[in-house]
Amino acid sequence: MQAFRTALRRNGRDFATEVGVSHRMLVKWETGGENIIPRPGNQAALDTMLATAGPEVQERFAALITERAAADQDARAEQLLRREGQHTKSPVDGKLMVPVEEGIYLSGPGNKPTWIEAYLIDVYPTTNADYARFVRATKYRAPQHWPNGKCPDSIIDHPVVWVTWHDAAAYAKWAGKALPTSQQWEKAARGTKGRTYPWGDAPTAAKCNVLDSEIGRTTPVSRYQSGVSPYGVFDMCGNTWEWCATETTHRRQELKGSAFTSPFTRAAPSLLNDADVTMSDNDTGFRCVSAARKGSALPSPVPSPTDQSGARRSLVTRGWAGLARPREEIYPGRGPAVSIPKSVVSGGCHHASGGDQIASRGRQHALGT
């Protein structure tokens, strides 16, 4: 409630008058937080106020809700920002993939027009659950942060880490896919028009898991609903660096995306970074791509959250009541939604190998630190 009033830039008495309640009732609402459910008439007034507010108000409100979700490590507000796209399930590893159409996009810090073929890219980074299936099927070595070679349940939906480029390439080969080139990765992150960040040009650190977020560990790959790319791809800023197929120099491959260990200033998808192929760390993972099926229709990028008045409106129509409801999370590649406790969603897990300690061995960041 307070977030909406702040977005409108109204004082308490004026806001209460517009909603049709006393100032004392408004104070009770704001103090009660998500435990307060307005009466239908008051909820209708709130819905109308947001629906008729200008886009700047709606954008401020969405930003405030997202920032609160990030600050509280509470994914329920983020869930309301979820948008659905056209997905394909990969036949081997079962991961959801989204198509990216052929054509020109603006590449690199200089936004150079670049043409690439159509392809499919994983909606989410490769998770520990995905990698566990690969390990079971191939007897490949498990990552070092899995106790006794077993993935802890608390991080099954987190991106797999402590994998070298060779490990990532081995998984991709098993799955019948490939690691993305840096150009494929960047287009899926920025769209065709050269967005600075997946969600747009606004430098909003609350939309991703970076050092500024002060979470200090990986988060579930579906956590940041408001930070998805124009194609609906998650975690293209923050959480973990991702290996690419593009070689920079002998035995060094590009990395994209930044991580929970990196400051937000290094999160832009256009920036360059690389590492030795033998490097592994607690903040480095990957995702895969595959060739687009011939004859299939490829959709255009979906609008950003700030272009979707319906999505913003749902935050109010479902907001104060909806945020108090139990949250359901989908573990990518594991079938139907299942209810999980908040401790799993926001608590994560400290890696057995040292977790939050940063070990940037072999990695040379382009911006330098």
Sheet strand arrangement including 252-256: 284-285, 241-249, 252-256, 273-276, 363-365
Question: Do 323 and 198 share a domain, yes or no?
Answer: no
54: Cβ contacts below 8 Å, ≥ 6 apart: none
Question: Do 239 and 356 share a domain, yes or no?
Answer: yes
pLDDT (mean) for 38-52: 75
Question: Do 283 and 358 share a domain, yes or no?
Answer: yes
Residue 312 within any structural domain of the chain: yes
Pairing of strands 284-285, 241-249: parallel
Question: In this predicted structure, what is the pLDDT of residue 10?
Answer: 83
What does the pLDDT look like over 182-241, one tens digit per residue?
999 999 999 999 999 999 999 999 999 999 999 999 999 999 988 999 999 999 999 999
Question: Do 326 and 181 share a domain, yes or no?
Answer: no
pLDDT band at 108 (very low <50, low <70, confident <90, very high): very high
Residue 336 within any structural domain of the chain: no
Closest CA to 300 of 32, 102, 126: 102
Question: Do 261 and 323 share a domain, yes or no?
Answer: no
Question: Do 295 and 317 share a domain, yes or no?
Answer: no
| Structural domain range at position 172 | 89-303+341-365
Question: Do 264 and 359 share a domain, yes or no?
Answer: yes
Q: Higher pLDDT residue, 113 or 328?
A: 113
Lowest mean pLDDT among 83-92, 129-138, 172-181: 83-92
Question: Do 21 and 35 share a domain, yes or no?
Answer: yes
Question: In this predicted structure, what is the pLDDT of residue 57?
Answer: 76
pLDDT band at 119 (very low <50, low <70, confident <90, very high): very high
Residue 294 within any structural domain of the chain: yes
Lowest mean pLDDT among 49-53, 193-197, 306-310: 306-310
User: Mapping DSSP to helix (H, G, I), strand (E, B) and coil, where does residue 239 land?
Assistant: coil
Question: In this predicted structure, what is the pLDDT of residue 82?
Answer: 53
Question: Do 145 and 271 share a domain, yes or no?
Answer: yes
Please tell me the total count of domains within the chain.
2
- Indicate if the pLDDT at residue 62 is higher than 80: no
pLDDT band at 35 (very low <50, low <70, confident <90, very high): low
H/E element, 363: strand 363-365
Query: For position 159, which CATH number holds?
Result: 3.90.1580.10
**CA atoms of 326 and 280, how far apart (whole Å):** 37
Residue 335 within any structural domain of the chain: no
Question: Do 74 and 93 share a domain, yes or no?
Answer: no
Q: Higher pLDDT residue, 9 or 365?
A: 9
* Token couple for 344: 């799993």
Counting residues of the chain whose pLDDT is more than 90, the rounded percentage is: 54
In Å, how far are 20, 26, 65, 160, 261 from 167, measured between CA atoms?
60, 56, 38, 11, 21
What does the pLDDT look like over 202-218, one tens digit per residue?
999 999 999 999 999 99
pLDDT (mean) for 33-41: 71
Q: Using the 8-state DSSP alphabet, how is residue 296 labeled?
A: -
Question: Do 289 and 215 share a domain, yes or no?
Answer: yes
Question: Do 315 and 180 share a domain, yes or no?
Answer: no
